Amino acid sequence: MADKILKKADLGKLIESVTGKGGRFVAPTTDSRQIVFKKVKSAEEIATDYILARNSFKEFLFPQTEVVAEFTLGKDTVDMRGVEVHAPQTVIFGARPCEAASLKGMHALFTWDFIDEFYTKREDNTVVVTVGCTKADDACFCTTVNLSPASTEGADVYLREAGESYTVEAITDKGKKFVEAHAAVFGSGSVKADPLVMPEKIANIDLAKVSERLKDKTHYDDKVWPKLTRKCIGCGACTFVCPTCRCFDIVDEGTAFEGERRKNWDSCQYDTFTLHASGHNPREHQHQRWRNRFMCKFNFFPEKFSGKGCVGCGRCVRVCPVRLDITEVMEEFSK
């Protein structure tokens, strides 16, 4: 039950209340004619009519590029210094329930034995406010992966559209503290939430069957892989927009005298990703790289990290320049 409401007219006050305490407020906004998650300063910047931002909000927890160390090289000296993570208090506002469900797996990966504090310190300082969907498009398939616009997994606060207001439901302790910290902005009252729009479940997909078939290792060299994925051009766009993809590279940048070590987004779809120095490449062909991504989503990532490998947001479907639709491969593996 929603116990609080947030008037849309008060969004500006919420932004001020957050930024006034030194925090950053991230929301879907229009940039270069696209709806993207960005830091905003005023309510006017926030998009009102959108299905999903083009980018995932993962970049505010796991930036596309970040410095992890700096070094200075002298004639006979080397100085290597770790850097402190930049982790401002952050509110992600207007995320969709599907993408918030990616966070459990992300957390599990970045804390698996070795704790990546570049991720966890940002995570600690981030409040995720989702808004249940009142619109969907043909690419949305959250219901096919057992999520829905009503899912609250990964959300700290869950909102629903209710005319000129939102209903407000604090899900986690962090969410409760957030609502308390900005109590002046949240009102109470009884408003009727607008209906959620449920994307239709894709009838020919059986997620349990997909998972079961991927467990049977005989599929590995099946001709179905090159057949289904031959048109992939290996651009990696699907991996960059995906809220659960988190593979990265570590590179040095700078001069011969000083520079930085950076952690940069990378993609399992690139042929250099797994290329050995010897020239040997365990995933030499594009269909092998595609298979790896699909296996990661529906086989080993969920099993290893008990998180969702795919949240059905449909970003990869929308962004793919050759219309390689992951749900078609899911259908094939549901047979």
Q: HSE-up of 284 (CA within 13 Å, CB side)?
A: 4
Strand ranges across the sheet with 78-82: 78-82, 65-73, 258-265, 248-254
The verdict on 216 binding other proteins (CB under 8 A) reads: no
Number of residues that bind other proteins (CB under 8 A): 56
The verdict on 84 binding other proteins (CB under 8 A) reads: yes
> Mask of contacts with other proteins, 242-261, x by CB under 8 A?
----xxxxxxx-xxx--x-x
Q: How far apart are CA 212 and CA 189, in angstroms?
A: 47
Structure tokens at 80: 């290597």
169 DSSP β-pair partners: 158
Q: Taking CB under 8 A as the criterion, which residues in 50-79 touch other proteins?
A: 68-69, 71, 73, 77-78
Q: Taking CB under 8 A as the criterion, which residues in 133-172 touch other proteins?
A: none
**Which of 64, 61, 50, 72 lies closest to 100, judged by CA?**
61
Using the rule CB under 8 A, which residue among 299, 310, 315, 317 binds other proteins?
299
Alpha-carbon distance values, 327 to 20, 140, 294 (Å): 44, 10, 10
Provide the 8-state DSSP code for 300.
I
Residue type, 205: I
Provide the 8-state DSSP code for 237.
H
**Which of 294, 201, 318 lies closest to 245, judged by CA?**
294
Instruction: Tell me the closest approach of the beta carbon of residue 204 to other proteins, in angstroms.
Output: 26
- Nearer of residues 276 and 323 to other proteins, judged by Cβ: 276
The verdict on 104 binding other proteins (CB under 8 A) reads: no
Instruction: Tell me the closest approach of the beta carbon of residue 82 to other proteins, in angstroms.
Output: 4
- Nearer of residues 36 and 85 to other proteins, judged by Cβ: 85
The verdict on 226 binding other proteins (CB under 8 A) reads: no
Residue type, 158: Y
Residue type, 253: E
Q: How far apart are CA 335 and CA 330, in angstroms?
A: 9
- Nearer of residues 17 and 286 to other proteins, judged by Cβ: 286
Using the rule CB under 8 A, which residue among 35, 52, 109, 128 binds other proteins?
109
The verdict on 203 binding other proteins (CB under 8 A) reads: no
Point out which residues bind other proteins (CB under 8 A).
68-69, 71, 73, 77-78, 80, 82-85, 109-110, 112-118, 121, 217, 220-221, 246-252, 254-256, 259, 261, 263, 266, 268, 273-278, 280, 282-283, 288, 292, 295-296, 299-300, 303-304
